[in-house]
Amino acid sequence: LTCDDTSYVDKVKDILGKHFQYQISGLGYEASNKGIAWLQAYIDEEGNFKTMIIPSEQCIPIWRDSSHIELESMIRVYETV
């Protein structure tokens, strides 16, 4: 990340966490193998912002438009043990 306001960049890096760049690489790998990739943002039990890659085969996107740019909702299907 780069920006003229270094304090802003530092705050964004703190929020995203030190492993975010690695996750973005994993997201690209998922997209190149499966045609699309999904990143879920959430707040953990301690109130921290987190992200995780959701396997594409578990996702059924509901698109708002025919060009698949605007996502209306998502259905996630997966098995539990």
Mean pLDDT, the chain, whole residue set: 93
Q: Taking a C-beta distance cutoff of 8 angstroms, is the pair 38, 56 a contact?
A: yes
Residue 72 backbone class (left: φ over 0; alpha: ψ -120 to 50; beta: rest): alpha
- Per-residue pLDDT reduced to its tens digit, 21-59: 899 999 999 999 999 999 999 999 999 899 999 999 999
Q: Where are the domains of the chain?
A: 6-76
Spell out where the chain has E strands.
Answer: 38-43, 49-54, 59-63, 71-76
Q: What is the pTM of this model?
A: 0.79
Neighbour tally for 80: CB within 10 Å: 3
